Amino acid sequence: MNAENKYIRFDWAVKRMLRDKANFGVLEGLITVLLNEPVHIVELLESEGNQEFADDKFNRVDIKAKNDKGEIFLVEVQLTREIYYLERILYGTAKAITEHINLGNTYNEIKKVYSINIIYFDLGKGADYLYHGQNKFVGVHTHDTLKISTKENGVIRMRMPEEIFPEYYIIRVNEFNQVAKTPLDEWLDYLKNGHIKDDTTAPGLQEARAKLQYLMLDKGDRNAYDEHLNAIMIQNDVLGNARLEGLAEGRAEGRAEGRAEGRAEGRAEGRAEEKNSIAKRMKQEGLDLEIIQKLTGLTKEDLSNL
């Protein structure tokens, strides 16, 4: 890829550039492709979910947006492994629901939430690169889907539970190994490889080609972006070594003691060492402490003890 076609990584753009209303089209395109219907974002929402402190447990949602129907979209990019990831996205969704209903409102004021999670780590076992989950109530004996009676504008109508309950999308970027043929494939190609076709018609990617070019950044942003890439490279290198060492120690201890607990403990210790090793290496490379905190999840106190 030549310099003229070098595009900013989505995980960096989502924190810096896509918060600008002029760039909403990129984010709208991704959501449109996932939901298979046009989505128009009217505003970004600020809450505890967007705090800036690296040691704040709410500092996980990269973008929280609202469309013209009042539905809420949580978009998050996660680079490093987290043990309780599913629990955390559930918490984030529940918090978004409660944040946007005022005391005294009736329950019909609750807005639907979409949780879109773009991950660059091994979440578990699964053959696909895109997973979608939503709530349905299915008869245990009849296997039919329950429809709920509700009143809207004075008229009783039937609604499906999935019209109300949150929906979750998990995009496993590293599992994508296909030729980009569909709009979704093209988005995954960009998320994983930074590649956008010159003749793309995928929603959002035309805007990305025009607005997320590396050469369009000013000098300060370009330096910050280069530092971000350097931090990711160091992190992935140290992460891979620490994981291998942790798994090796776990297997050795498990064989020696003949117990599953030995393997589990070895893996747990390996995961803990991952973050410490990553942070230590980054400090040695002279990276900014705030960037190290964001990438590893360690606190200032943790870093000072390394």
Partnered with residue 144 across adjacent β-strands are none
Report yes or no: 99 and 105 within 8 Å, Cβ to Cβ: no
Q: Quick one: pLDDT at residue 196?
A: 94
d(Cα 199, Cα 226) in Å, to the nearest integer? 28
The torsion defined by the Cα of 39, 45, 48 and 53, in degrees rounded to 10, comes to 90
Q: Quick one: pLDDT at residue 58?
A: 38
Identify the CA nearest to 91 among candidates 131, 59, 119: 59
H-run or E-run covering 130: strand 130-134
Partnered with residue 73 across adjacent β-strands are 65, 114
Say whether pTM exceeds 0.95.
no
Q: Quick one: pLDDT at residue 55?
A: 40
Residue with token string 């704040």: 56
Q: Quick one: pLDDT at residue 224?
A: 85
Residue with token string 């709920």: 148
d(Cα 179, Cα 184) in Å, to the nearest integer? 11
Identify the CA nearest to 75 among candidates 83, 84, 65, 66: 65
Taking only the tens of pLDDT, the chain with its 306 residues reads 444 568 999 988 988 888 888 899 999 999 999 999 999 999 998 754 444 444 434 345 789 999 999 999 999 998 877 778 899 899 999 999 988 887 777 887 888 999 999 998 888 889 999 999 998 899 999 999 898 887 766 677 777 888 889 999 999 999 999 889 999 999 999 999 999 999 999 999 999 999 999 888 888 888 888 888 887 777 666 656 555 555 555 555 555 554 555 455 555 566 667 777 777 877 776 777 777 777 777 888 888 878
